[in-house]
């Protein structure tokens, strides 16, 4: 692996584990976050840290894992943004989840400044980020992807080049929307079954094993049955992915009725006050509506 000065900005739920794994294979690594709590694991391992994103301007490659496209744009192109202070040839690898349209816009702006940009969003949860087994989908120049592939392999076990700029984010949006649609389906239907007399545990077992099963049902139904909705990726954040897909649909005039129906289910749950909980909590709206609970006895 070619020796490069690497920085990683955004050490939250996903970024923290990703950066720790990346640091294992990099001699000159800088971890950047404004939170002392997020920086603590790096200090414990004597990995250099900073609270200033501008410090990444002196590096060769900067990885990002930030909350949304507005934050990414500010860090890169804001008044004290990296792109305004760095040299030509700097490479930005954005592992945040932002919109397809925003990724393409940022890529164009950075290219005009002589800076390469790859959109490389990830799929997985906190445990996968910590053990380096994420799925990573990548968009941008193929030759740039090939150069940084060894770094991505430190963070994920499934690393796939998807195409030109924005292709990684588009893939992530489609994947997340499929997950959201599956989740909405059993969150609507399980309370109906229980209302009409079905046992929630027995119904849950069928939905996790029979032809209607999915990754969503296998992952979320056990948590619903345990009344466990405390996870890092909230329903508010999940809704963001569908909004991004709606922007694409509006731009290219593509009707997606199943996605639109799922968005309405999310909107009902968000209006019900469940936005800060994990996406499986949308079942609570339908439980309240029908006066039932889908929990273990």
pLDDT (tens digit, 0 to 9) for every residue of the chain, 297 residues total?
668 999 999 999 999 999 999 999 999 999 999 999 999 999 999 999 999 999 999 999 999 999 999 999 999 999 989 999 999 999 999 999 999 999 999 999 999 999 999 999 999 888 999 999 999 999 999 999 999 999 999 999 999 999 999 999 999 999 999 999 999 999 999 999 999 999 999 999 999 999 999 999 999 999 999 999 886 678 888 888 899 999 999 999 999 999 999 999 999 999 999 998 888 999 999 999 999 999 998
The span from the CA of 205 to the CA of 199, in Å, is 10
pLDDT for 201: 98
pLDDT for 236: 87
Query: Is 9 in contact with 38 (CB distance < 8 Å)?
Result: no
Please give the structure tokens belonging to residue 243.
């909004």
DSSP, res 253: T
The span from the CA of 292 to the CA of 112, in Å, is 57
pLDDT for 238: 84
Task: Indicate which residues carry an active-site annotation.
Answer: 172
pLDDT for 148: 95
Please give the structure tokens belonging to residue 207.
């939905």
The bridge status of strand 122-123 relative to strand 134-139 is antiparallel
pLDDT for 230: 80
Give burial (CB, 10 Å; 0-12/13-18/19+) of 285.
buried
pLDDT for 258: 95
The span from the CA of 231 to the CA of 276, in Å, is 9
CA of 242: how far to CAs of 50, 175, 180, 233, in Å? 34, 11, 8, 14
Please give the structure tokens belonging to residue 193.
């079954």
Q: Which domains does the chain have, with CATH numbers?
A: 5-165 (3.40.50.720), 171-290 (1.10.1040.10)
pLDDT for 232: 61
CA-based angle 158:27:89, to the nearest 5?
75
CA-based angle 74:76:77, to the nearest 5?
70
Best CA proximity match to 233, nearest among 276, 269, 170: 276
Other beta carbons within 10 Å of 231: 17
DSSP, res 169: H
pLDDT for 278: 87
The span from the CA of 159 to the CA of 23, in Å, is 18
The span from the CA of 133 to the CA of 110, in Å, is 30
């Amino acid at each position: 692996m070619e020796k490069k000065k690497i920085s990683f900005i955004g050490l939250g739920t996903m970024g923290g584990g990703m950066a720790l794994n990346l640091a294992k294979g990099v001699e000159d690594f800088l971890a950047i976050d404004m939170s002392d709590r997020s920086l603590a694991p790096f200090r414990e391992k004597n990995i250099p840290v900073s609270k200033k994103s501008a410090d990444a301007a002196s590096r060769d490659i900067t990885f990002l894992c930030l909350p949304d496209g507005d934050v990414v744009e500010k860090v890169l192109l804001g008044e004290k943004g990296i792109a305004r202070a760095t040299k030509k040839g700097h490479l930005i690898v954005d592992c945040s989840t932002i919109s397809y349209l925003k990724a393409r816009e940022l890529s164009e702006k950075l290219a005009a400044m002589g800076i390469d940009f790859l959109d490389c969003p990830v799929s997985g949860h906190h445990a996968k980020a910590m053990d380096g087994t994420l799925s990573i989908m990548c968009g941008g120049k193929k030759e740039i992807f090939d150069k940084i592939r060894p770094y991505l392999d430190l963070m994920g076990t499934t690393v796939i080049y998807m195409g030109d700029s924005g292709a990684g984010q588009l893939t992530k949006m489609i994947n997340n929307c499929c997950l959201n649609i599956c989740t909405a389906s059993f969150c609507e239907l399980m309370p109906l079954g229980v209302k009409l007399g079905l046992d929630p545990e027995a119904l849950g077992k069928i939905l996790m094993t029979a032809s209607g099963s999915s990754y969503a049902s296998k992952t979320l139904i056990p948590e619903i049955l345990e009344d466990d909705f405390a996870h890092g990726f909230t329903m508010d954040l999940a809704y963001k992915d569908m909004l991004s897909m709606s922007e694409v649909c509006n731009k290219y005039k593509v009707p997606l009725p199943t996605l639109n129906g799922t968005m309405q289910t999310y909107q009902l749950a968000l209006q019900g006050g469940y936005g800060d909980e994990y996406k499986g909590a949308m079942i609570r709206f339908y439980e309240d509506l029908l006066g039932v609970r889908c929990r273990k006895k």
